[in-house]
Amino acid sequence: MATATFNIRSPSIILFGKGTVSYQRTAAPFQIPQFPLNRPRFTALFASLHDGNNNDDGSDKITKAVGLEELFEDSPYDVVSKDSPFHPRPLSSTKFSNSVSAGSRLRVAYQGVRGAYSEAAAEKAYPNCEAVPCDQFDAAFEAVEKWIVDRAVLPIENSLGGSIHRNYDLLLRHSLHIVGEVKLAVRHCLLANHGVRVEDLQRVLSHPQALAQCENTLTKLGLSREAIDDTALAAKYVAFNKLKDTGAVASSSAAKIYGLNILAEDVQDDCDNVTRFLMLAREPIIPGVEKPFKTSIVFSLEEGPGVLFKALAVFALRQINLTKIESRPLRNQPLRASDDSNNGSKYFDYLFYVDFEASMAEERAQNALRHLKEFATFLRVLGSYPVDTTML
């Protein structure tokens, strides 16, 4: 088995692009296994689902068996494609366990530095976890795949700024599964060093989405805007450089961590500013029916009149509500020639990401995907997971 060496130097680490780890004291290096891509596939886990609650008559309640192995052959979350081979998937729990050992804390990767909204989302999703900052979204995905951390919590969409397209692309590129979602109310603050007043500021730093969410407020203040990778990183930069003419848009927790003064709270243009985060793991969870579930899929279609209508109709026919649809270019084949030889034109080829309100334990959801599989050129279930009904 091939191995890679990683140096762990501090409990509070930042993971960078290729999984290296930094900071102060150096401990003895340890070996992280690099598992081969041709690892065995795991068999379907969903022959039957058991509910732990007892009925009034004392008998155990057993939900209806779900034949997902028939739908996705040898894996419940398989990649089904007419044109391409199967993508590699995580190892089965029969070979490796990603559960936390007794007494240890779940390690959860997020993008950004301390004080980022993603850190708050990770702590909401997994209370008492050890939140591990990563400099880029890619590094968070890789940290889970390489067993450096147990989970990742990453943003996928915001109620004001829209979708985070990068993470949609990474969901397809990597083999992780969505095992949950968490929604976080975002409350932006205008931060500056102590002694600096609003009228002293000439510019403000923050993440592009945060700047867009505060556009009206910042325009009224006459401040120029400069984008930076992360809201908390903007606060850290202003504090460490002791800037007097520059502020940052970030969270109140970032102000406490980096010793900044809060000049104004709730500077976002809309009070209903919510970011939805995905909880990612190496293996899928077993979907249930005892509470609301959501399922996320990605698929592609042949070009033709009404093809997308047919794809969406498989859900409407079964009274399944769609909560999200997003299209992204198919990167390996962005342009495809028309089948009409007399036309000679080319068109854009797309992947469609869809979220729908149903569990893969439900027969109607299984039937909908069987139906979609009949004419989709590619289909992959990204995860079936509980809906987050809470809000901070």
Q: Annotated catalytic sites, by residue?
A: 275, 277
CA 26 to chain centre: 32
170 touches 137 (CB < 8 A): yes
Picking from 186, 188, 187, 195, the residue whose alpha carbon sits closest to that of residue 261 is 195
What's the 3-state SS for the chain?
CCEEEECCCCCCCCECCCCCECCCCCCCCEEEECCCCCCCCCCCCCCCCEEEEECCCCCEEECCCCCHHHHCCCCCCCEEECCCCCCCCCCCCCCCCCCCCCCCCCEEEEECCCCCHHHHHHHHHCCCCEEEEECCHHHHHHHHHCCCCCEEEEEEEECCCEECHHHHHHHHHCCCEEEEEEEEECCCEEEECCCCCHHHCCEEEECHHHHHHCHHHHHHCCCEEEECCCHHHHHHHHHHCCCCCEEEEECHHHHHHHCCEEEEECCCCCCCCEEEEEEEECCCCCCCCCCCEEEEEEEEECCCCCHHHHHHHHHHCCCCCEEEEEEEECCCCCEEECCCCCCCCEEECEEEEEEECCCCCCHHHHHHHHHHHCCEEEEEEEEEEECCCCCC
Query: Please, is 245 exposed, middle or buried when counting C-beta atoms within 10 Å of its C-beta (0-12, 13-18, 19+)?
Result: exposed
Q: Which amino acid is at 259?
A: G
Angstrom distance (rounded) from CA 293 to CA 195: 50
